[in-house]
Amino acid sequence: MTHKPSRFEACSLDIAVADRKLLSGVDLALRAGDRVALVGPSGAGKTTLLRVLACLADATAGELRLDGQQPAEVGYPRWRRQVTYVTQRPMLLPGSVEDNLRRPFAYATATGPYPEALAVDWLARLGLVGVLERPARELSEGEQQRVALIRALLVKPRVLLLDEPTSALDSQATAFVEAVLVDCAESGAAILMVTHAAQQVARLCTRTIDIREYTGE
Amino acid sequence: MNETISLTAGDLALAATLVLVAGAVSAVLRLGLERRLLVAAIRTVVQLLLVGYVLAWVFALDRGWIVGLVFLFMAVAAGRAAVQRASHSYRGATWNAVVTLALTGLLTTVAVTAVVVGVQPWWRPQYSIPLLGMIFGNGLTGISLCLDGFLGSLADGRGQIEMELALGATRWEAVRAPLADAVRKGMIPILNSMTVVGIVSLPGMMTGQILAGEDPLDAVKYQIVVMFMLAAATSMGSIGIALLAYRRVFNGRHQLVGERIYEQK
């Protein structure tokens, strides 16, 4: 997997939910290879921040740039293809695991064919052997979480926004995921992940952002 | 074949005793529906008599602008009813339903009166108003089922749609499956009607024509035209409202603005 070196910036973001100001003055920059933890108490706005960075929700002020380009210049679907958000609760479509993994390659923003060999390799690395044909929604939550992660990784995003990607995993599966994330970062992806596990931050992340810097607490 | 037996007020009073049967069932089984039955029966008589007088007046005047007014009144009433029946709605839904019904009503009515039947002028009230009534009646059912299915699936399945958007789908790619399901839902009643028509049910218009002394084969021909017209109107209406709702609940940044959808009591 190769990524173009990238620089992702969020400048002076103000974020409100239902007219209630949640975060203000969010400044963050991610470079290729960064593995950044986003920490802070529940309800402080971590998930909302990830959604804004992925342009699934709007900030009330501020701007986003990827290599100097704003989302409107890139095009919003194409932006999300490069700045990809993975929810904490895995959202899998009806159909098999393979149907789910192939789905993003049916979109107009797809730039290449479905990388079948890579998908099989990652499934194996994450401890998911022989699941390709299985109905995705019949997998355990931990298995679904890994499938959802692989589906996002196959898109080869330049910035990966992960919301507690190992929350449903045991320690062995967590180690598998962390190893794959390190590989992705070394290939040039920037990772921003919400986590509540201090040990995971110490093991995996090169930097930490505390959301309370922007909540006024 | 054209012997029409006119009904007198006495005949109608006699028919009203049939409602007493329903009232008796309600009383014996203590369903508590007697009062509602009475109100419903009175409403049926008053509404239909009123509409009868209005139609007689409109037919006698035979003016295009009056037909236009009746058309607008019917479209607004049907649009409001369609949206009120759905479990979810959004601001502007009634307006969208009215526009959809008005356009589909106009298109199909013109197609039938001007092209198929060859009425001169195409808006002649004896033809256009009953046809519009059927189109709006079926159209509003289709629209409300479609709206209900579409907005319900967006409200309940928001996470899944946003997952597709997050992976680079356009708003259309993300919404195509629930939208198609909703249009399908809107068309099921008319498809069911078309499947059993003549076997299980004799449509009201055809029955009315036969009772009025028309040749059954002539009545059947008209009914075939009507069924095709209703199929076209319901499909256009369902697709129309789904597309308008889609434009309303997604913004130009390919975001699902879930806050625009609200639940109705």
pLDDT band, very low/low/confident/very high, at B3 (cuts 50, 70, 90): low
Query: At A69, phi and psi to the nearest 5?
Result: -105, 135
User: What is the per-residue pLDDT for A2?
Assistant: 46
User: What is the per-residue pLDDT for A177?
Assistant: 96
On the question of pLDDT at B223 being above 60, the answer is: yes
- Shortest CA gap B174–chain A (Å): 9
User: What is the per-residue pLDDT for A53?
Assistant: 98
CATH class of domain segment(s) A7-214: alpha beta
User: What is the per-residue pLDDT for B243?
Assistant: 97
State the Cα–Cα distance between residues A43 and A51, nearest whole angstrom.
Answer: 14
**Hey, is the C-beta of A112 within 8 angstroms of any chain B C-beta?**
no
Residue B101 near residue B143, CB atoms below 8 Å: yes
> pLDDT, tens digit, for every residue of A109-142?
999 999 999 999 999 999 999 999 999 999 999 9
User: What is the per-residue pLDDT for B207?
Assistant: 84
Residue B119 near residue B45, CB atoms below 8 Å: no
pLDDT band, very low/low/confident/very high, at B84 (cuts 50, 70, 90): very high
> pLDDT, tens digit, for every residue of A180-203?
999 999 999 999 999 999 999 999
Closest by Cβ to A87, choosing from B159, B173, B259: B159
User: Where in chain A are the domains?
Assistant: 7-214
> pLDDT, tens digit, for every residue of A58-75?
999 999 999 999 999 999
On the question of pLDDT at B146 being above 70, the answer is: yes
On the question of pLDDT at A1 being above 50, the answer is: no
User: What is the per-residue pLDDT for A217?
Assistant: 62
pLDDT band, very low/low/confident/very high, at B137 (cuts 50, 70, 90): very high
Query: At B200, phi and psi to the nearest 5?
Result: -95, -40
User: What is the per-residue pLDDT for B203?
Assistant: 82
- Shortest CA gap A108–chain B (Å): 7
Alpha-carbon dihedral of residues A54, A58, A62, A68, nearest 10 degrees?
A: 40
| The two structure tokens encoding residue B222 | 């008209």
| Chain A residues in contact with B165 (beta carbon < 8 A) | 56, 77, 80
On the question of pLDDT at A4 being above 60, the answer is: no
Residue A65 near residue A158, CB atoms below 8 Å: no
CB proximity list for A101: less than 8 A, separation 6 or greater? A114, A119, A132, A147, A150, A151, A154
Pairing of the two strands A83-86 and A159-163: parallel
pLDDT band, very low/low/confident/very high, at A6 (cuts 50, 70, 90): low
To probe the interface with B, which of A17, A74, A91, A102 has the most B CB atoms within 10 Å? A91
Query: At B76, phi and psi to the nearest 5?
Result: -65, -45
Please give the ipTM for the structure prediction. 0.94
On the question of pLDDT at B245 being above 80, the answer is: yes
**Hey, is the C-beta of B170 within 8 angstroms of any chain A C-beta?**
yes
Percent of chain B with pLDDT over 90: 71
Per-chain mean pLDDT for chain B: 92
